[in-house]
Amino acid sequence: MSAYRDGDKVVVLLPSRLSKAEEEQWIATLLQRLAERERRRRPSDDDLFTRALELSRRHLGGRAEPASVRWVDNQHARWGSCTPDDATIRLSTRLRGMPPWVLDYVLVHELAHLLIPGHGPDFWALVGRYPKAERARGYLEGVAATAHLPLGLDDADELDDARRSVAG
């Protein structure tokens, strides 16, 4: 039994032996699970903030303390950014719908910037505490390459690298 979205329709698969009442009950359950799954994939600003605090606690000893975390849709060349001065973090809405562990990686990356500004060895050691860091970086590079986007993770240096590689 399952429910999934196909364009603007929701398809619910059920065995034919169910009674009408059972069928209705299962449809309600499956639709609720689908909604929960989609919510996890499209977290709100509040969800992002809560998640960031949890990730900081779990992987960075709680030392990174963001003041706010929110979605922005004006970041065309970056997945995320942060301003250490006021401890704000922003994520590109392009990340919406990506697997939660990829989103978590971008959050951990930006949280780590609240503690270490650049991309030196210390920074990568900190980010590496998140177990799926390497895998998530590969995933994002793959998405950027497939879409032919010069997307860097956040900072100007990465963006410049991407522009250089696009320029040849």
For binding to Zn ion (CB under 5 A), which residues are involved? 154-155
Which of residues 3 and 152 has its CB atom nearest to Zn ion in the complex?
152
Which of residues 38 and 117 has its CB atom nearest to Zn ion in the complex?
117
- Taking Cα atoms as reference points, which of 114, 95, 113 lies closest to residue 104? 95
Query: Are 84 and 61 spatial neighbours (Cβ–Cβ below 8 Å)?
Result: no
* Least distance (Å) between residue 152 CB and Zn ion: 8
* Least distance (Å) between residue 59 CB and Zn ion: 16
* Least distance (Å) between residue 44 CB and Zn ion: 24
Which of residues 30 and 109 has its CB atom nearest to Zn ion in the complex?
109
d(CA 168, CA 162): 10
Distances in Å between the Cα of 59 and the Cα atoms of 73, 129, 164 are 27, 6, 33
Rounded to the nearest 10 degrees, the angle between the axes of helix 100-115 and helix 133-146 is: 110
**Residue 120 exposure: Cα atoms within 13 Å on the Cβ side:** 5
Which of residues 104 and 154 has its CB atom nearest to Zn ion in the complex?
154
The CB-nearest residue to Zn ion is 154
* Least distance (Å) between residue 135 CB and Zn ion: 17
